[in-house]
């Protein structure tokens, strides 16, 4: 069963991860997040769930909200076959997430650590990043270092890409 936002909070607390929470109406896109009063949009992560041509490899791409993902460039950097957006069914099967709630914290639901996490190198070292807690009605604010700690603790592959 996918984790609830409360269970995500408990996991982070158990790991000693410091975070702040902003509650808001459900959002499905970065553009919707920009409409939330007081949201520091420049610190929010955009997240894409991709698959390779045969659907054997799955990737969670985490990038700065202002950037676009060039799938051909990403493909070349990771040595993959053609990339495309994965279906909502694959998103649920692999990360226990629904559309609009895609987040790097989805690795907490990836018990087999099958999803490869690709992070925009420009996010490295940032003291404040906004991600959903597997639910699109909240944004958690944590450091890049803590986000990396969470991903590595789950055993998921982590690579940096240039966008």
Phi, psi at 92, each rounded to 5°: -65, -45
Q: 131 and 45 in contact (C-beta within 8 Å)? A: yes
Query: Is residue 139 exposed (0-12), middle (13-18) or buried (19+ Cβ within 10 Å)?
Result: buried
pLDDT tens string 113-154: 999 999 999 999 999 999 999 999 999 999 999 999 999 999
What's the token pair of residue 149?
């700690």
In 7-163 the beta strands, taken as DSSP E runs, fall at 20-23, 45-51, 58-64, 84-85, 116-120, 129-131, 138-142, 158-161
Using the predicted structure, report yes or no on whether residue 37 has a pLDDT greater than 90. no
pLDDT tens digits along 77-119: 999 999 999 999 999 999 999 999 999 999 999 999 999 999 9
Q: How far apart are CA 85 and CA 83, in angstroms?
A: 7
Residue 40 clears pLDDT 90, i.e. is over it: no
Whole-structure pTM over 0.85, yes or no? yes
**% of the chain exceeding 70 in pLDDT:** 100
Per-residue confidence (pLDDT) for residue 84, from 0 to 100:
98
Question: Tell me, which fold does domain 5-161 have in CATH?
Answer: YbaK protein (3.90.960)
| DSSP for 113-130, written as a single string | --SEEEEEGGGTT-S-EE
24 confidence band (pLDDT: 50, 70, 90)? very high
């Amino acid at each position: 069963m996918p984790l609830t936002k409360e269970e995500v909070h408990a996991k982070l607390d158990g790991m000693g991860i410091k975070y702040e929470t902003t509650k808001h109406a459900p959002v499905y896109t970065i553009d919707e997040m920009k409409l939330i009063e007081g949201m520091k949009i420049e610190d929010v992560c955009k997240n894409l769930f991709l698959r390779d041509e045969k659907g054997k490899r799955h990737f969670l791409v985490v990038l700065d909200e202002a950037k676009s993902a060039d799938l051909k460039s990403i493909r070349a950097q990771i040595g993959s076959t053609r990339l495309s957006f994965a279906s909502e069914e694959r998103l649920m099967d692999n990360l226990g997430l629904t559309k609009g709630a895609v987040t790097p914290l989805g690795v907490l639901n990836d018990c087999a650590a099958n999803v490869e996490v690709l992070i925009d190198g420009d996010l490295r070292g940032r003291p404040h990043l906004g991600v959903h807690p597997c639910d699109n009605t909240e944004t958690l604010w944590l450091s890049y270092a803590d986000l990396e700690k969470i991903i590595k603790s789950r055993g998921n592959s982590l690579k940096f890409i240039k966008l």
